[in-house]
């Protein structure tokens, strides 16, 4: 059997690929986007604010329910071939490779009492892997949207957000929050998703960079990161320690005016971690206000300040991200910052259209001169959230 490759697996012929692979037509095709976070980093697990949006790159899944409990999974990228599992005997932490994402969704649905039969699934995704654009959540969100409909589970978008979070935390084993799924499941075209991670409420905020003569460039540094690694865990631990010493439920409850006192009772490192979260929450709120009142051309300084805070106070940047951000700014970006969990992944640069090519060329040149891997640079626009497309 031929494994379809990305190049010939355009969404238009995903259905015929599915038929050729699994011998029958899919019940439907569902897509869910990756996301980029405009601002608000590491604020999610501190019950604070984030402002991601769904991007125009997505995971597309053709799915057909089966009469037995066999699950067969095939991706158009990679050479794993078909992965088989039994929906009736899933064990957290045991699923191999990318299968853990769809199987985690199945397991989490079962935990909610939803009966999930076996199914065949063909995945095709153009969300770059490991670039901090949440290719893994795009898969989970496409699969939960498909299975929610096919099983008649009837979950709301918000329930699917929490369900995929449970899948990530308890089945995949990654201690992630709700930002990525909220953007993928609740995003809409032309808007960023302003999410309050405490009450989980969402407000859609207009973000039409193009109308202001701007593009949002993503600079994928190609440096790999892992959310499960020690850096992420230690930042979370510092935030929890800070909240405990300051006597608050979460750092969301610390105001800028409290920082003076915080500097006196916290050790210097914990204080800087706390200061990043407190100031970052303020920057998210100001970005939302600014987008609503003045538009994207006025948020550059907030993006720059966010990067400085992550670099100096939270210490989650790296030389590649700093070089991308600094070079983009020098060559015309009005604001730039690393995005995602840090320690690699991508930077974003809000750039006037007339400087786009300059920024692209300069960043590639600077990376070559520094001896870094050539970065991948592309634009993203706020796009539709998860949906059935066939």
Per the listing, tokens 């935030």 go with 239
The residue assigned the tokens 């929050």 is 177
Determine contact, residues 129/118, Cβ cutoff 8 Å.
no
Active-site option among 120, 180, 304, 313: 180
Of 136 and 290, nearer to Mg ion (C-beta) is: 136
**Distance of closest approach, residue 259 Cβ to Mg ion, in angstroms:** 32
Told to check if 164 binds Mg ion by CB under 5 A, we report no
| CA R_g for the chain | 21
Q: Report, in Å, the least distance between residue 269 CB and ligand ADP.
A: 26
The annotation status of 131 as a binding-site residue, yes or no, is yes
Q: Is 180 a catalytic residue?
A: yes
Among 37, 43, 125, 136, binds Mg ion (CB under 5 A): 136
Which residues 6+ apart lie within 8 Å of 20 measured at CB?
Answer: 2, 4
* Beta-strand relationship, 202-206 and 335-339: unpaired
Among candidate residues 224, 234, 178, 222, the one with its CA nearest the CA of residue 37: 178
Q: Cβ 311 to Mg ion, closest distance in Å?
A: 22
Cα distances from 237 to residues 43, 152, 181, 231, 258, in angstroms, run 13, 40, 23, 10, 20
30 binds ligand ADP (CB under 6 A): no
Asked if 181 interacts with ligand ADP (CB under 6 A), we say no
State yes or no: residue 136 binds ligand ADP (CB under 6 A): yes
For 91, the token pair is 């064990």
From Mg ion, ligand ADP, none, interface partner of 359 (C-beta below 5 to 8 A by class):
none
Phi–psi pair at 372, nearest 5 degrees: -90, 160
Q: Give the nearer residue to Mg ion in terms of CB position, either 167 or 266.
A: 167
Please state the closest distance from residue 122 (CB atom) to ligand ADP, in A: 10
Binding residue for ligand ADP, selected from 21, 37, 43, 134, defined by CB under 6 A: 134
The reply to whether 41 sits in an annotated binding site is: yes
Give the interface with ligand ADP as residue ranges (CB under 6 A).
75, 77-78, 97-98, 123, 125, 129-136, 139
């Amino acid at each position: 059997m031929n494994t379809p490759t990305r190049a010939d697996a355009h969404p238009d012929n995903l259905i015929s690929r599915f038929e050729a692979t699994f011998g029958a037509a899919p019940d439907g095709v569902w897509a869910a986007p990756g996301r980029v976070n405009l601002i608000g980093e590491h604020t999610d697990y501190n019950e604070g604010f984030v402002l991601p949006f769904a991007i125009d790159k997505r995971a597309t899944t053709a799915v057909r329910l089966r009469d037995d409990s066999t699950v067969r999974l095939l991706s158009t990228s990679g050479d794993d071939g078909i992965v088989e599992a039994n929906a009736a005997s899933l064990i957290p932490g045991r699923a191999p490779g990318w299968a853990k994402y769809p199987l985690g969704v199945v397991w989490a649905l079962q935990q909610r009492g939803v009966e999930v039969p076996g199914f065949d699934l063909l995945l095709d995704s153009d969300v770059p892997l490991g670039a901090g654009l949440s290719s893994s959540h795009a898969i989970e969100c496409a699969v939960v949207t498909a299975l929610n409909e096919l099983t008649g589970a009837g979950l709301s978008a918000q329930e699917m957000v929490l369900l995929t979070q449970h899948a990530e935390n308890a089945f995949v084993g990654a201690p992630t929050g709700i930002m990525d799924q909220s953007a993928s499941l609740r995003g809409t075209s032309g808007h960023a998703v302003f999410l309050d991670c405490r009450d989980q409420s969402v407000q859609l905020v207009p973000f039409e960079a193009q109308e202001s003569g701007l593009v949002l460039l993503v600079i994928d540094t190609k440096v790999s990161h892992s959310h499960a690694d020690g850096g992420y865990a230690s930042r979370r631990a510092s935030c929890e320690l800070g909240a405990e010493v300051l006597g608050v439920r979460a750092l969301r409850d610390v105001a800028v005016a409290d920082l003076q006192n915080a500097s006196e009772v916290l050790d210097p490192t914990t204080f800087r971690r706390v200061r990043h979260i407190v100031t970052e929450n303020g920057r998210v709120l100001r970005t939302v206000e600014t987008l609503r009142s003045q538009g994207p051309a006025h948020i550059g300084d907030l993006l720059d300040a966010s990067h400085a805070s992550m670099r100096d106070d939270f210490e989650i940047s790296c030389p590649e991200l700093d070089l991308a951000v600094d070079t983009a700014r020098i060559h015309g970006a009005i604001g730039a910052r690393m995005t995602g969990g840090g320690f690699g992944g991508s930077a974003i640069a809000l750039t006037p259209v007339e400087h786009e090519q300059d920024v692209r060329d300069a960043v590639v040149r600077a990376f070559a001169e520094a001896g870094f891997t050539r970065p991948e640079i592309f634009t993203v626009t706020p796009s539709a959230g998860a949906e059935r497309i066939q």
